[in-house]
Amino acid sequence: MSRKALIAANWKMYKTPAEALAFVDAFLPLVTGHTRDEIALFPSPVLLPTVIPACKGSNIAVGAQNIHFAEEGAYTGETSIGQLKALGGTHVLIGHSERRQYFCETDEIVNKKLHAALKAGLIPVVCIGEVLQEREAGKTSDVLKTQVTGAFAGITPEAAEPIVIAYEPVWAIGTGKTATPEIAEDAHRTIRAEVAKLLGANVASSMRILYGGSVKPDNVTALMAQEDIDGALVGGASLKPESFSAIAKY
Ligand code: PGA
């Protein structure tokens, strides 16, 4: 089963609107006509009204780093799916480890957000991954299974088709320590097997599983050569057009 890779930029809390626009202006010509992979940018919510129109008509999709599961309401500081969609956003990150670590996001919240994103027709990128202590204690596969099961509660095989998973070992995020291709592949296989158990072999074999954690132009090729790695979620190395386009063209 061939899966079209997704190469995604997680800009986190970086860039002003002017810097975001300068990135897009420099980046688009570097990836013109690149159709082998899907490419997506995930900027801060205040940058969406700048980045989405700037990417319109190009081969670059744009999504949010987070959304609330409620349609609207008294949730100070949050962004609704309706607001994202009204701007033309198509993708959303859900449950990034920084959201889990600093903003108390649980598997239950991730699950609610996933249901809401699917209902609205967004492409959700569900982030999972173990912390260093869990890896060292030999609990990686248990943690991944728990996170997948929690995120996918109540999701049917029919509804699951747009879902993308991003495996991001927390110890490799922003640390310069990348998982070796073998370590990453091993985790991806565990995740795919768990998806198969929950949603069936067909859904599992077509679901894209991205790797994230210190992906750079010089390590992306070896990671992408692994059978179960279907793309990358890139933080630090996605902030510069040259480096992110080099990753997209691995
Ligand atoms: P990094 O971040 O590439 O800077 O490690 C990845 C992520 O957090 O999505």
In the chain, where are the structural domains located? 6-248
Beta bridge partners of 9: 41, 234
Helix (H/G/I), strand (E/B), else coil: 225: coil
Specify the residue with its C-alpha closest to ligand 1, atom 2: 235
Mutate to test the pocket of ligand 1, among 14, 91, 128, 173 (most ligand atoms within 8 A of CB): 173
Q: What is the pTM assigned to this prediction?
A: 0.97
CA distances to 11, 147, 222, 226, 244 from 218, rounded to whole Å, are 19, 30, 9, 15, 11
Do the strands 123-128 and 91-94 form a parallel or antiparallel pair, or are they unpaired? parallel
Specify the residue with its C-alpha closest to ligand 1, atom 1: 235
- CATH class of the structural domain 6-248: alpha beta
What spacing in Å lies between the alpha carbon of 158 and ligand 1's midpoint?
30
Given the residues 68, 96, 115, 188, select the one marked as catalytic. 96
Residue 172, both tokens? 């490799």
Cβ 93 vs Cβ 63: under 8 Å? yes
Specify the residue with its C-alpha closest to ligand 1, atom 9: 235
pLDDT tens, position by position, for the chain (250 residues)?
589 999 999 999 999 999 999 999 999 999 999 999 999 999 999 999 999 999 999 999 999 999 999 999 999 999 999 999 999 999 999 999 999 999 999 999 999 999 999 999 999 999 999 999 999 999 999 999 999 999 999 999 999 999 999 999 999 998 888 899 999 999 999 999 999 999 999 999 999 999 999 999 999 999 999 999 999 999 999 999 999 999 999 9
Pocket of ligand 1 (CB under 6 A): 10, 168, 173-174, 212-215, 233-237
What spacing in Å lies between the alpha carbon of 214 and ligand 1's midpoint?
6
Given the residues 168, 185, 188, 194, select the one marked as catalytic. 168
Cβ 88 vs Cβ 54: under 8 Å? no
Active site residue 96: yes
The label of the residue with tokens 């599992």 reads 204
What spacing in Å lies between the alpha carbon of 24 and ligand 1's midpoint?
19
Say how many C-beta atoms besides its own lie within 10 A of residue 140's C-beta. Answer: 19
Which atom of ligand 1 is least distant from the CA of 233?
Answer: 9
Buried b (16+ CB within 10 A) or exposed e, 33-71: eeeebbbbbbbbbebbebbbebbeeeebbbbbbbbbbee
Q: Which ranges constitute the DSSP H helices of 90-139?
A: 97-102, 107-119, 132-136
What spacing in Å lies between the alpha carbon of 11 and ligand 1's midpoint?
9
